[in-house]
Chain A
């Protein structure tokens, strides 16, 4: 097993944001604006008080997108706040966001980025 070249990181948070389908790009752009360039997006189906909102129950789209991104723990609150307002999560039914502490991360990071401190 070859493990040379793998960079191990600690003090990292996993931010997970659940938004209506099609709005993941807003979350990613907000995160990029805070210096968090990487993200993954996958689809999900939401359940809840959908029929009670709006005419014909179409006020909240049941199709969701889940955005996951890793940030340095020190910047967790700032990135959370930026995404919260960019995705309009203060609107009922717009979605939710939460942060999970990560014990450690392993990935490839180019040497020049490590030397410049441009990590997460």
Chain B
């Protein structure tokens, strides 16, 4: 496939998707990625999941009861994708049952997400407010 002819900044990238239980671990992961690794192209959304290892009983022709989960999408440059993937795997605690899963797909093009300079984080603004 040919490269797009465009003046838009960006390059091929990877999208790392992480499925975690809805227990606040997604916020901790996003904060870590932003503050330690400088990754801003990340979001979190809620979903329901039917885990493969969950021993839930279900009626005939019924889906087992789902549990709430969070899906975190992280877009990273190709060069740092493997390193970020390893960090997310470790931070997500994937070595325990029910902790979720992480997968990575290739993106043909992604623009950078430029953040405005001099604007404090939302959480810090709330803490500083009287």
Contacts and interface: CB of A to CB of B under 8 A. Distances in A.
Contact of B95 (A3, A14, A42, A105): A3
Given A5-B96, A108-B95, 15 more contacts: A3-B95, A6-B89, A29-B61, A37-B50, A38-B52, A40-B71, A41-B49, A42-B45, A70-B103, A101-B106, A102-B105, A103-B105, A106-B103, A108-B53, A108-B101
A1 B71 CA distance: 22
A119 B102 CA distance: 15
B90 interface: yes
Interface of B: 14, 19, 45-53, 61-63, 66, 69, 71, 85-87, 89-91, 94-106
22 contacts: A1-B91, A14-B103, A29-B61, A32-B63, A38-B50, A39-B50, A40-B47, A41-B49, A41-B66, A42-B45, A101-B105, A101-B106, A102-B105, A103-B105, A105-B104, A106-B85, A106-B101, A108-B53, A108-B96, A108-B97, A108-B98, A110-B97
B53 A28 contact: no
A82 B102 CA distance: 25
B61 A4 contact: no
B102 A107 contact: yes
Overall SS of chain B's interface? mixed
Overall SS of chain A's interface? strand
A21 to B, nearest CB: 13
B46 A42 contact: yes
Interface string A96-112: 00001111111110100
Contact of B89 (A3, A29, A39, A70): A3
Contacts of A105: 101-104
Interface residues of A, number: 29
B101 A42 contact: no
